[in-house]
Amino acid sequence: MDPAGSMGMAPLAAWPALGGIGRAWMGGPAHKDGKVMHPDLLNPDLKELQYAVRGELYLKGEELRKAGKEIIFTNVGNPHALGAKPLTFPRQVLALVAAPFLLDHPKVSEMFPSDAIARAKKLLVDFKGGIGAYSDSKGNPVVRQEVADFIEKRDGFPANPENIFLTDGASVAVRLALEAMIRDSDDVVMVPIPQYPLYSASIALYGGSLAGYYLDESQGWSMDMNSVRQVIKDQRSKGKCVRAIVYINPGNPTGQCLSYANLQELIKFAHEEKVVLLADEVYQENVYQDKLPFVSSKKVLMEMGGDAARDVELISFHTVSKGSPGECGLRGGYAEFTNMHPDTMAELYKAVSINLSPNTVGQVSMSLLVNPPKPGDVSYDQYKQEREAEIASLRRRAHLVTDGFNAMEGFSCNFVEGAMYAFPKVEIPAKAVEKAKSLGKSPDVFYCLRLLEETGISTVPGSGFGQKEGTFHLRTTILPREEKMKEFVEKFKKFNEAFRKEYA
Amino acid sequence: MDPAGSMGMAPLAAWPALGGIGRAWMGGPAHKDGKVMHPDLLNPDLKELQYAVRGELYLKGEELRKAGKEIIFTNVGNPHALGAKPLTFPRQVLALVAAPFLLDHPKVSEMFPSDAIARAKKLLVDFKGGIGAYSDSKGNPVVRQEVADFIEKRDGFPANPENIFLTDGASVAVRLALEAMIRDSDDVVMVPIPQYPLYSASIALYGGSLAGYYLDESQGWSMDMNSVRQVIKDQRSKGKCVRAIVYINPGNPTGQCLSYANLQELIKFAHEEKVVLLADEVYQENVYQDKLPFVSSKKVLMEMGGDAARDVELISFHTVSKGSPGECGLRGGYAEFTNMHPDTMAELYKAVSINLSPNTVGQVSMSLLVNPPKPGDVSYDQYKQEREAEIASLRRRAHLVTDGFNAMEGFSCNFVEGAMYAFPKVEIPAKAVEKAKSLGKSPDVFYCLRLLEETGISTVPGSGFGQKEGTFHLRTTILPREEKMKEFVEKFKKFNEAFRKEYA
């Protein structure tokens, strides 16, 4: 963030004789074309950040869609866009809190079940002024208590609603944590490679540094603690201050689930090395095998007990966008802060206050996710059936996609243990690599662009997430509906065969 | 943002012999109490920012509310929290898009008017996957077109939907613009004094500098262009680069409406001096007199024509939170960018992509605000009547509040021409000023705290917005319902008399 950085000049400090003249002297307030917000004069951190999930492939896909081509958007975990239906009960309640006058209509009980009506009435008491009023900046206190109860039930340890912030999706919560902890480029956040680019983009935007630790593809994308420890050692030898380690469990884009023992090691590491744990647990309901069920970091931390349970700073994130609701558009999320300094909580509260209030519909959705119908409620059976059916279907699709890729020449793909994505390794023929380079493109970008143009399948190249030098990957969601999945796999396979033939 | 700044040490550059040792050497990654996210080790820009609207007064109010005291929250423009009812038609449509299965119910037309049903069906086509799917990062393209049509109808000049970003409320849009243009503390944004603290807080958070220009209280809080010009001159003589000027029309907290001529002068100023215009126009529907109707900056700019119309960079903001909907909780807003460099638009698009999608319910609400029922539609008459009644009631309340304050000893208050706030000047007796100082509080904070404790009326002290040295103010909304307004004014008056007596 040195004042002259964006102009490639020495920092102002090197020009003591010019002290007080500063930027106005260096070319005036506007670019020579007259634009004040000229791209050359923007915040350099903003310019530097990259965000592949909505990058070249996405833009190309949008362009083809506008031109009339049918696009299968498997580039982003957006289940409803591919035909997933919302859960009925939460949407009944949402309709009633959106239109409270329906509750006075004589026909309301013909259109809505009694428990949805009762729940809407309760929410309209909890949300003073209804969903049209700002809530507290960290979210409605009743919903925060419901989240705390959900966490307690999940983990077997109490949670404090004052340490829970409701946010417009988990992304906003992640960015809040990063913005608070990053002071400048000497501050480092450790991030898995491959990673979800929310992390790299936000770290760049806030002027920090990223240090990647590689997940081990040959071991089902597991985390190798020796390599994690090596990274922090290397960073420190460069004089950097490692502030936090991010991990995504279940993994995005890699789909692995972390074991209890692995989480224990991570906590031990955080305790010894004094780093904050950033636990991205938004896929906690998306688990497709029984060997590694989801375990929260909070639970493992509390079960470890001792100093660690009192000391280790943990921030965990959850959302209504994933799991069985898949309510991406409603933007409901939360962060739970564990073992934070009380004055830091006050600073975070102040920071979220600038936006006044997270959206109330997202908060209501979070309430319905963490406090769903109970056995005996009118809607219980249907609700339970809908949730289980969606996860069971995703489990079948996880197998279909993994098996599909592993049957393709040049592909190898770890089983999708959880989350919503497959991240296969793709061998790209030498001639295709050459061709890509001649076009100034990364070979995986070239492959994905050709796939998109020829099949309409929109994926994200591995380079957007990070991958070992010399290897190529791509990320696809496992979200096409089951009835479409066979077609998806076949189209993909056919393309791959033709591509390999073309560049053999 | 110098690396050692937060520790009160010389910048690292002054320790060349230690190059490469850096922060890790300076005390390690954690505070001596063991906390990594210790308040002393947070982003200093975040720590520095202040946000009075949710500051000491708000927290005290919340504390008293929890203890059982009835609080009148006139500290924030949150109409539904004080009893404003949502407009019926938009909420009917919202209910149907939240629960699309209702559209197949045989009784739907007994509970919903036909135009609400038709509109919901259209929105469910426009939003592929419904409100549960992420939209494009800058918002649904159909809604952006509707916003463009609304602007064209309002101003008589075309708008380009590609230059319109839908956002989670206008605050997010304002912060996007500031984050993009601020590079470091040599970059200055001019802000009116008094101002809405969203601006001061965001400028601090992004590491920029704020230069205030005073509004003239003796002239109905009008903008004095000579003083505006003096400020930019002063900033430049200090070597600062003034990037933009913020103005709020109608004004917050000051309630004034800018004249056509004033907007022309502002545009001329921006053109000559090369600064971006940040036009906060969220209160455009909240106008309570006929002499100064709302005129958008875009319209004035386009009517000026010539170089200015092609050159001047303008960003204007609007919301569903204010006006007759008052839908604060739904977080729907937009920014329109005029005369921006295309590569800058691409950078802004990339920046909003990190959060994937603004919330869809806010987008639907914006669609309903800018594209309401038309004459002849079943719901037209009721919709029109509800909107007009709310604004007419606010107009009466603007008079009640202004007159109420001007009838109070030691108070003087400009007429609330628009927006949702009164910002009276309050004489605070010398003994009360002394008392406040002995408590380490600003006298206006002391006055507002006493008001809160004794009447339950929650306001924001003028020092949270900025005021001329030696003067004191407070901000209150004009939002208590009319039937409560008399009580509000009388409680306030009684307190003021007792306070003045106590400190006479």
Residue A238 forms contact with B (CB below 8 Å): yes
Find chain A residues with C-beta within 8 A of B138's C-beta: none
Torsion angle defined by CA atoms of residues B227, B231, B233 and B238, in that order, rounded to the nearest 10 degrees: 160
Distance from CA of A87 to the nearest CA of B (A): 10
Find chain A residues with C-beta within 8 A of B79's C-beta: 132-133
The beta-carbon neighbor of A22 closest among B88, B130, B240 is B240
Question: Which of these, B118, B139, B137, lies nearest to B127 by C-alpha position?
Answer: B139
- A residues 453-492 lying closer than 8 A (beta carbon) to B: none
Residue B310 forms contact with A (CB below 8 Å): no
Residue B76 forms contact with A (CB below 8 Å): yes
Residue B59 has a pLDDT of 86
Find chain B residues with C-beta within 8 A of A106's C-beta: none
What distance in Å separates the CA atoms of residue B238 and residue A179, rounded to the nearest whole number?
A: 29
Helix (H) or strand (E) holding A83: none
B147-370 has the same fold as B52-73+384-502: no
Question: Which of these, B172, B252, B238, B221, lies nearest to B415 by C-alpha position?
Answer: B221
The CATH number of B52-73+384-502 is 3.90.1150.10
* Terminal-to-terminal C-alpha distance of chain A: 48
Find chain A residues with C-beta within 8 A of B356's C-beta: 53-54, 76, 169, 171, 328
Cβ pair A333, B31 in contact under 8 A: no
* B166 CB-contact burial (10 Å; exposed 0-12 / middle 13-18 / buried 19+): buried
Residue B182 forms contact with A (CB below 8 Å): yes
The CATH number of A135-370 is 3.40.640.10
Find chain B residues with C-beta within 8 A of A33's C-beta: 341
The beta-carbon neighbor of A239 closest among B21, B328, B350 is B21
Residue B63 forms contact with A (CB below 8 Å): no
Residue A32 has a pLDDT of 86
Residue B19 has a pLDDT of 37
| Architecture per CATH, B147-370 | 3-Layer(aba) Sandwich (3.40)
What lies within 8 Å, CB to CB, of A94 at 6+ separation is A361, A364, A365, A368, B95, B98, B99
Helix (H) or strand (E) holding B390: helix B380-406
Residue B439: CB atoms within 10 A of its CB come to 12
Residue A117 forms contact with B (CB below 8 Å): no
Distance from CA of A49 to the nearest CA of B (A): 8
* B430 CB-contact burial (10 Å; exposed 0-12 / middle 13-18 / buried 19+): exposed
pLDDT in tens, chain A (504 residues): 333 333 333 333 333 333 344 554 454 688 888 899 999 999 999 998 887 767 788 889 989 999 999 999 999 999 999 999 999 999 999 999 999 999 999 999 999 999 999 999 999 999 999 999 999 999 999 999 999 999 999 999 999 999 999 999 999 999 999 999 999 999 999 999 999 999 999 999 999 999 999 999 999 999 999 999 999 999 999 999 999 999 999 999 999 999 999 999 999 999 999 999 999 999 999 999 999 999 999 999 999 999 999 999 999 999 999 999 999 999 999 999 999 999 999 999 999 999 899 999 999 999 999 999 999 999 999 999 999 999 999 999 999 999 999 999 999 999 999 999 999 999 999 999 999 999 999 999 999 999 999 999 999 999 999 999 999 999 999 999 999 999 999 999 999 999 999 999
- DSSP characters for B107-153? THHHHS-HHHHHHHHHHHHHSTTGGGS---TT--HHHHHHHHHHHHH
Question: Angle at Cα B164 formed by Cα B160 and Cα B167, nearest 5°?
Answer: 165
| 3-state secondary structure (DSSP) of residue A155 | helix
| 3-state secondary structure (DSSP) of residue A212 | strand
Domain ranges in chain B?
5-42, 52-73+384-502, 147-370
CB distance A86–B130 less than 8 Å?
Answer: yes
What distance in Å separates the CA atoms of residue B451 and residue B461, rounded to the nearest whole number?
A: 11
Residue B23 has a pLDDT of 54
Find chain A residues with C-beta within 8 A of B110's C-beta: 107
CB distance B313–A355 less than 8 Å?
Answer: no
CB distance B22–A241 less than 8 Å?
Answer: yes
Residue A477 has a pLDDT of 97
Closest-CA residue in chain B for A138? B54
Helix (H) or strand (E) holding B71: none
CB distance A132–B198 less than 8 Å?
Answer: no
| Architecture per CATH, A52-73+385-502 | Alpha-Beta Complex (3.90)
Residue B27 forms contact with A (CB below 8 Å): no
- B residues 330-389 lying closer than 8 A (beta carbon) to A: 330-331, 340-341, 343-344, 346-347, 350-351, 353-362
Residue A350 corresponds to which tokens in the numbers above? Answer: 């102040």
Distance from CA of A170 to the nearest CA of B (A): 9
Cβ pair B323, B283 in contact under 8 A: yes
Q: Which of A21, A241, A321, A369 to mutate to test the interface with B (most CBs of B within 10 A)?
A: A241
Residue A7: CB atoms within 10 A of its CB come to 13
Residue A183 forms contact with B (CB below 8 Å): yes
10-residue averages of pLDDT along chain B (504 residues)? 32 34 57 91 92 80 92 93 96 98 96 98 97 97 98 98 98 97 97 95 96 96 95 96 98 97 97 97 98 98 97 98 98 98 96 94 98 98 98 97 97 98 98 97 96 96 93 97 93 97 96
Closest-CA residue in chain B for A107? B111
Residue B127 has a pLDDT of 98
The beta-carbon neighbor of A201 closest among B81, B344, B354 is B354
